[in-house]
Structures are given as C-alpha cells and as structure tokens.
Structure 1
Amino acid sequence: MTWTLPDPMLAAPVADPVLRPGWAAEPKWDGFRAQISIDTGRVVLRSRRGTDMASAFPEVVAGTTQLPDATALDGELVVWEGGRLAFERLQGRLQRRGAGAARLAEQWPCHFVAFDLLRLAGTDTTAWPYRRRRAALEELFTEQDLSAPWTLCPSTTDPDTATEWLSWSAVGMEGLCFKRLDDRYRPAARGWQKYKVRETSEAIVGAVTGTLTAPRSLLLGRYDTDGRLQYTGRTTTLTQTAGRAFPGLLAPAGDEHPWTGWTFSAGWGTRETLTVTLVQPELVVEVDVDVAHDASGRWRHPARLHRTRPDVSPSDVARFGN
C-alpha cells in the first residue's frame, strides 16, 4: 500500500500564554507550514493547503539525501535575513521555478524547521503520542547528524523556558504552540493550541474602505524619517459600533495626499486590490497588532482597532519601521 502524507494537524488560538502540566510548548515560527516526505527517492514538499512546493525550494529537496528513505516530517519553511525571519523573502520564492528558483535558493536559502515526525524509515508514527514522536525526532537529528536545510524546532515542558521564548518576537517569532504530551497526530484536527504575541501601537488613518461616515476598515500609515507617510497596514473589518465612532473625525483628502495613485493589496499572497477613499492623514488610532511584519516595518496581519486617539498628534506617532 502506498503511504501518503496526512492532512496537517492544526492549532486553535488561545488567549493564555501559560504552559500547563501535561503539555509541551514550541516557538511559533513566521514562515510557511510545510510537510515533506521521501519515498524511494520521490520527494513531496507540500503546503498546508496541499500545494506542491518542491520546485520552488530545490535546496530543501536536495537536503532529503540526509534523511532515511520512507521518512516524513512536518514543520515550517523559513528564511533568515539580518538576524530575523524574513517572510517576504520566503513569499517571493513561491512562484519561481528552474534557474530562478536555484538563484534565489542561493541568495535567500530556506530552512525547514522540523517540529513533528510523521513517518520514520517506513513506520507510520502518527499514532504515537507526541512525547514519543518528539523523542524519535530528536534521535533522528542526532543519529543522522542533520544539517542545513534542516533545523530542529525547540520544545519544552518548562513554563519558564516557554515564557522566555515569548521575548523572541524581536527576531520574528510569533508566539507559542502548545501540544499535549499524550496526543497522537490527528490530521485536520485543531488539537494543538497557539498563542500569538500582540502589542498595542499607534498609527495614522490615511484611507478607508467603505465610507467616511461608516468605514469598513482603516488603512494605516506612519511618517518615515524623511517626512513621507508610509503605509504600514490595515485593520480588520470594523464592527458597526466601532464604525459609528468616526463621523466627524475623518475629512476627505485633497489633491496633495501622499498616497494619491497608490494601490493597496487585499492581503498577503493575493493580487486583489482594495477600493479605498483617501482621507486627510490627521486622525491617530490605537490598534492591537501581532509581531509579524516585513523587513520594511509593515504589519503582515490586519490590526484590531482598539480606540481612536483624536488627542494625539500624527507627529507624536512612532516613525515608520519602529
């Protein structure tokens, strides 16, 4: 019988970062979830949604020569730049093939951060409890002396160590993933838990979707050190209650708006653009954001509106990239 990769096990969000007894914690990486298997020389590298990514990451495929045959791993593809995770470098590689993929593999090499073992030398390990899979994964790294592109994801049952990992947000770590020690690998089930580090920040409203009296979302900016208003991200869809707070606070933009002629993407990985109305960049808002951002300082995930701050001047908002 031919062995096939199972659907990825998933994580449900939680608000509490405390590691409980009977659970292990792992750092949550800012990259692409991926599964990889090698079977009689055939390599499968696929995304969480099942997309084949092998041709985009030839250095990872080449690295499977270090693994025993009939072995499969679950993990995260990441790229490092300047001592931090660079999601935009990773994303820029997805559509490359052939010589283009090989060139970027040399320029922005990818690492596969392994956090679970799905198959080992022909043995399906998904029915094993996490603690046994983890021990076997560590043994695999030691016995095979695995090196780049392979990286072993840290794991701990010590709450103090897990708390320390939350400080890794400066290098692009998103938070923590929690896994029960006695839980098997359950395809497509949200049996794991994830905690994302979030912070409160201020930004200037430069445009909206919807109308000025009932905006659906806010496009946010900050001034850079040269005095130019740079786009830093947008909010999630506003509730009706939140939208009612804006009449009288937003004014239509004049002809000299710094974003005139700009287009804004509806999200990472899509070519869909937003229909926006530019506004005078005068209103400051306070938002909750997670720590994932690109190298320039833009937030990768939508921010949640916390409150408007008409009492704060745009000149008091932190500079773009900070």
Structure 2
Amino acid sequence: MDLPINPPVAPMLAKAVAAVPEQPDDGPVWSYEPKWDGFRALIFRDGDEVVVVSRSGKDLARYFPELVDAARAELPERVVVDGEVGVVREIGGVRRLDWDSLSQRIHPAASRIDKLAGETPATFIGFDALALGDADLTGEPFPRRRDALRHAIAPGGSLQVSRVTQDSAVARDWFSAFEGAGLDGVVAKSLDGLYVPNKREMVKIKHKRTADCVVLGYRVHKSGTGLGSMLLGLYGDDGEVRMVGGSSAFADKKRIELQEMFEPMRLDPDNVAQGEVSRWRSAGNGEWIPIRPELVVEVAYDQMENGRFRHTVKFLRWRPDRDPISCGYEQLEVPLTYDVHDVLEGS
C-alpha cells in the first residue's frame, strides 16, 4: 500500500462539552454533524488493496467483508476516509442503528462472519477524508476535506456520507431528534481545523439523563471481596420487573460497604442465579445474587436500546423516598421515530 497516508493511523478524537457551541456573530467557525454510535473505522484503498482498521488499530476487514467489497466497488482507486461502521435494522417501524447486531459481527468463526454479513450487512458512514489520489488532506481545513469526502463517496451504496450543518439551531434539533435513529449526540468540528491524528481536536455533546431504578441484585467483585456491580431493573406496564443494566466502578471501601448492605437482603442465602442478565457479563461468569427489590437508586445514563441501558450507568444517589414499584419505563425519554436514512447526505 502506497498512499499519501498509510496505516496505522490513529483517528482524530473529540473532547466532551456540555452544550452545542454557538456560532459567533461575525460568521460561522463550526461545522456540526450527528454523532454516530458504532465502530470508528478508517478505510484505506489503494487499488485492489483495502484495509479497514478500528480506532485501536484492530483489523475490521475480516469481520466486515462486505465493506471491503463495497470499498473496491464504490470508492476511488486511492483514498483514505474516516467514519463509523454500523448495522441498520428496522426497529419499531423505523430504520435505526442497532448496537446488538453490530457487536455480534465480531466473531472468531469465519463461517459465522459470512452468515452475518448476509443477514445483517454493515454500513459505513463517512464523515472525514484524510487522502484522495496523491493528495494528503490532513493539512487542509475541514471544508476541503468534506469536499473530498463527497467526491469519494456517492449516496446510495453501502458507503454513505453523514449530513452536516453550520446552523447551531439545527444542530440542537439534531441532538434530540436523531437519537431516535440510534445516534449518540452531536459533534462539532472547527471549519479551520486540520486533521490531527489521535488528538482531541473536535468536540462532542452526548446525551446524559437520569433514571430511578430498583436494585435487583449484585455480583461479587472479581477479587472475591466486595461488590463488583449492582444490577438494576425497571417495571413494565405488565407489572413485571426487567433487568436493564448495571452500575459498577465503586471504590474499594464502597464495594465492601455495599456488599455488607446487600447480604442480609439476599432472597436465597444459599444460592446464586445463573445466566446472562446483562450485556456487561464477565466472560465465563454469569452468576449474580438476587436481593429483595426494596432499594431505589438514581443513576445517570446516556441511551436506551431494546429496553436496556446502552452502556453501564453511573450511580448518583439513593432514593429512599421512591417506591420500587414506581420505577417504570415511563420515566425514560427514548424517541424512536427518526429513520437513520434521513441522517445521511443525499437522502
């Protein structure tokens, strides 16, 4: 591979801010775009040679062979583009990014990879360009890179281009509306900014919310001492409680305190429950200890997917004033009405 920019290259990163940055009165300085929630990836194409690498440098080509084929068919002969790999599925009557389907694509068996490539094909959403032809674009401002990206990727194929705007009001609307398509917030790039690998030169605004959940049980820490994570639930309209995720990352002293608090509340002191009750289960260890559903905690979360928290959540405080049965899904704001194809350039 002999491109102006060759792998390995660490992608440019973003730092978190609290709100969408406003444009100054004397003219725009920001370009805004949706924050896609998938696998960050760089695609390098030099003729028939295609390399797809993750943010950490992992080879993604073996897991997404359909994207390699699409790169050969749809990209220019010599190009490097930055973007996100996602799987789009119809959920609740709209097409949206589906993290569960995406994560299942990382599998050691080639036969399984080939099967899933046909059943849940991936899409690449481009949002930057590092090189086109013999030109190294990393030293160019974003509008120049954006023009190269649009030249490299035409709408309608397996490779797509994200929408952008310079209107901060539109970006704020995207922040709310596009979550229904499975997106994760908004990213802002400096119009004059260059592409700086592995540096936080962009800014990101992510969804942050709180919810009151009932504590259903816990796992013991991998050290064997103290609480590893508390497992949380929400009540549905049918009155049944469902596991929705977990909260962990407690200090050593707090882990021991929590285990001592939960031990007398065990439903069956002599047994533990089995099974994968959350997507954060440690490999080879599905055991958890159910307790009486009497405690309520307030947690911070960013996104829901398929009735569960998308990521592990942060413990904020106890809520002794809340009745556990009142901890239901109706408190959550999860829009599910925006189609992911409406977030793509040219759609």
Do the aligned partners of 1:39 and 1:70 also contact (CA within 8 Å) in 2? yes
Structure 2 counterpart of 1:252: 265
Structure 1 counterpart of 2:164: 155
User: Which amino acid letter does the alignment assign opposite residue 184 of structure 1?
Assistant: L
User: Which amino acid letter does the alignment assign opposite residue 60 of structure 1?
Assistant: L
Structure 1 counterpart of 2:344: none
The alpha carbon displacement at 1:236 in A equals 4.0
Distance change in 2, residues 1:259/1:163 (3 Å): farther
| Corresponding residue to 2:66 among 41, 59, 64 | 59
User: Which amino acid letter does the alignment assign opposite residue 11 of structure 1?
Assistant: A
Separation in 2 of the partners of 1:260 and 1:98? Answer: 33
The alpha carbon displacement at 1:55 in A equals 2.0
* Identity among equivalent pairs (%): 32
TM-score by length of 1: 0.85
Structure 2 counterpart of 1:137: 149
User: Which amino acid letter does the alignment assign opposite residue 305 of structure 2?
Assistant: D
Comparing 218-227 with 74-83, which one deviates more in the overlay? Answer: 218-227
Structure 2 counterpart of 1:283: 295
- Output aligned runs, 1:141-220, within 5 Å: 141=153, 145-167=154-176, 168-209=178-219, 215=227, 217-220=229-232
Separation in 2 of the partners of 1:257 and 1:220? Answer: 22
Structure 1 counterpart of 2:14: 11
- Output aligned runs, 1:1-322, within 5 Å: 2-3=2-3, 4-5=6-7, 6-21=9-24, 22-64=29-71, 65-82=73-90, 83-95=95-107, 98-141=110-153, 145-167=154-176, 168-209=178-219, 215=227, 217-224=229-236, 227-238=239-250, 250=262, 251-255=264-268, 260-263=273-276, 267=280, 271=283, 273=285, 276-291=288-303, 293-295=304-306, 297-319=307-329
- Which 5+ residue runs of structure 1 have no aligned equivalent? none
User: Which amino acid letter does the alignment assign opposite residue 128 of structure 1?
Assistant: E
User: Aligned residue pairs: how many?
Assistant: 315
The alpha carbon displacement at 1:140 in A equals 3.2
The alpha carbon displacement at 1:247 in A equals 9.2
Separation in 2 of the partners of 1:260 and 1:201? Answer: 25
User: Which amino acid letter does the alignment assign opposite residue 13 of structure 1?
Assistant: A
Separation in 2 of the partners of 1:219 and 1:27? Answer: 31
Separation in 1 of the partners of 2:137 and 2:156? Answer: 23
Q: Deviations over 1:247-292 (max 9, x none)?
A: 9974422239997223566838x6264775432121111111001x
For the aligned residue pairs, the C-alpha RMSD in angstroms reads 3.2
The alpha carbon displacement at 1:199 in A equals 1.4
The alpha carbon displacement at 1:229 in A equals 3.5
Do the aligned partners of 1:266 and 1:272 also contact (CA within 8 Å) in 2? no
Do the aligned partners of 1:207 and 1:279 also contact (CA within 8 Å) in 2? yes
- Which 5+ residue runs of structure 2 have no aligned equivalent? 333-347
